[in-house]
Amino acid sequence: MKVIIVGGVAGGATAAARIRRLNEQAQIIVFERSGYVSYANCGLPYYIGDTIVNPEELTLQTPESFYSRFRVDMKVRHEVTAIHPERKTVSVKNLQTGEEFEESYDKLILSPGAKPSQPKLPGMEMDKLFTLRTIEDTFKIKDYINRNHPKSAVIAGGGFIGLELAENLRELGMDVTIVQSQKQLMMPFDADMAAFIHAEVRKRGVRLAFGHKVEGFSEKNNGVDVLLSDGSQLHGDMAVLAIGVTPDTKLAKEAGLELGVRGSIVVNDRMETSVPDIYAAGDAVQVKHFVTGEDALISLAGPANKQGRIIADNICGGDSRYQGSQGSSVIKVFDLTAASTGINETHAKRIGLNVDTVILSPMSHAGYYPGGKVMTMKIVFEKETYRLLGAQIVGYEGVDKRIDVLATAIRAKMKATELKDLDLAYAPPYSSAKDPVNMAGFMIDNIANGMLKQWHLSDLDNLPIDGSATLLDTRTAGEYRRGHIDGFLNIPVDELRERLGELDASKPVYVICQSGLRSYIASRILEGNGLIAYNFAGGYRFYDAVANDRALAEASFACGMDK
């Protein structure tokens, strides 16, 4: 059996190694148009920022090491220019010598990945404008910085690459501005949770220009003017276009393979394309979203590696199936960690799901053990069924651990109420006896049992201010003085039982505290005394972060950037 693989890195290299482990006799050839067959794509920004100093650490395998261990013929700087399914060959060009030839195959694996989205805008040819996708892109940016010592950069795009690059350029001492057409960074997060990311980024000196679309680039003052849709411009010594990626499927299209979302390659759960004996994996393929069942593009290394393994199994006579992607991800944002899995509340509502959320601010480990830090968790679940749909966490320590537990719970199709039953490891330096994930489950179970009724930030503008309800802040008097929502009466929770006479028992009470815990206790006191109470999801800490972020976002839209 002769297997040709187009593209290395995650999907292609994984498939090649797995095929060899399953079939010692197979002939395996990988054609990779870049000079690197397997490299740490996710580590590229950290090389630019000098966190990773040795460029060789980015190279996971070389053609020589791959051949030595797996007897796989890795041909770098070879570009497959056409696929001929009718005669089961591919056309190949040696980019070093210019030689062109055809290579036959019994099985063909496409792992072309994705390329940076590059709209047709004025100034795209400038040598001070960069994209970051390949290891060559990385070396190009690093070489430019080392030679020219730029003092400032404008990054168009606030996703994973844009945010990681912003951090690393700031670590080099550069002034950095991110311009983003949406009014938030990191679209896998709801806007309210992204507020915590924005606060960290701003604290570190990165300027944010939200709600502005990039219309072009021009050279000015030995740098780059980034032209915005409102007629303004942002200037930097260099600029990076990081507005997303597009499936690199020109070969597949020309060969007549069925294409799907944004031109991606359609595959079944065996990773087979519409043409016999041709498989595809990675950022170029359309997958099913595990939570929603929707056709989706999910460009992450984990899914690509799994898909490569599944293809290898099936080529070698097995029957492996890809169950779908749920987009589990984590990102370092300076000292902050932000992670998500499944779908967010915004997405859930957009596709018509009837959802609810709980928001909590637990400590990373036992409060009495030194060094604990607060994290903010948002769990999304379906009303009535309590199907667990997604989660977002922003914090410092322990974020990745909790998101992995929640990702596993989604994959196991657990109900959100069942989070309370998980038996999770506990010791004071690592967690609490009631782990944050358990706490989320307790809250959702309280909702299911009618013990907890919530109101959300989205309800704030519609709260009854005509006197038909009581708005109650249960924090201490000192906390209340330092900041509160207009119209809220302050009665500390520890004084509530003695001051119940100050409340009209015929009116519902909308309760808030700093994190949601004291207001929940207050709600139970009120309910126990015959009142109807609604607890604010997230607490004043959450409200304050989101309100401040919204004010700054509006200012950035009006002024072109944060001031």
Band of pLDDT at residue 556, cut at 50, 70 and 90: low
- Active-site annotation holder among 42, 316, 513, 559: 42
DSSP calls for 292-314: T--EE----HHHHHHHHHHHHHH
| Beta-strand runs (E) in 20-174 | 27-32, 38-39, 59-61, 73-76, 78-84, 89-94, 100-104, 107-110, 114-116, 129-130, 152-156
- Mean per-residue pLDDT, 382-390: 97
Q: What is the pLDDT of residues 526-554, one digit of tens each?
A: 999 999 999 999 999 999 999 999 988 87
DSSP calls for 322-365: ---B---EEEEETTEEEEEEE--HHHHHHTT--EEEEEE--BSS
Angle at which helices 436-448 and 399-411 cross, to 10° = 50
Band of pLDDT at residue 563, cut at 50, 70 and 90: very low
- Mean per-residue pLDDT, 293-305: 93
Q: How many CB atoms lie within 10 A of CB 490?
A: 15
**Alpha carbon distances (Å) from 61 to 44, 411, 426, 476:** 15, 31, 38, 59
Active site residue 316: no
Tokens representing residue 110 in the block = 């496409």
Q: What is the pLDDT of residues 9-47, one digit of tens each?
A: 789 999 999 999 999 999 999 999 988 777 677 888 999
What pLDDT is recorded for position 105?
A: 98
Q: What are phi and psi of 101, to 5 degrees?
A: -155, 170
d(C-alpha 560, C-alpha 563), whole Å: 9
What pLDDT is recorded for position 172?
A: 96
CA neighbours closer than 13 Å in the CB half-sphere of residue 42: 11
Going by C-alpha positions, the residue among 203, 213, 198, 229 that lies closest to residue 553 is 198
Q: What is the pLDDT of residues 91-150, one digit of tens each?
A: 999 999 999 999 999 999 999 999 888 889 999 999 999 999 888 899 999 999 999 999
d(C-alpha 533, C-alpha 261), whole Å: 46
Residue with tokens 């507020």: 195
What is the pLDDT of the chain when averaged over all its residues? 94
Q: How many CB atoms lie within 10 A of CB 53?
A: 8
**Alpha carbon distances (Å) from 291 to 192, 198, 499:** 22, 27, 47
pTM value?
0.94
* DSSP-based three-state secondary structure for 436: helix
What pLDDT is recorded for position 557?
A: 59
Distance of CA 393 to the CA centre of its chain: 11
With a cut of 80, say whether residue 513 has pLDDT above it.
Answer: yes
What pLDDT is recorded for position 390?
A: 98
With a cut of 80, say whether residue 559 has pLDDT above it.
Answer: no
Please enumerate, as own/partner, the contacts of 483-491 that have beta carbons within 8 Å and a separation of 24 or more: 483/540, 483/544, 484/540, 485/460, 485/512, 485/540, 485/543, 487/463, 488/512
d(C-alpha 484, C-alpha 481), whole Å: 7
Band of pLDDT at residue 61, cut at 50, 70 and 90: confident
Tokens representing residue 477 in the block = 């008097």
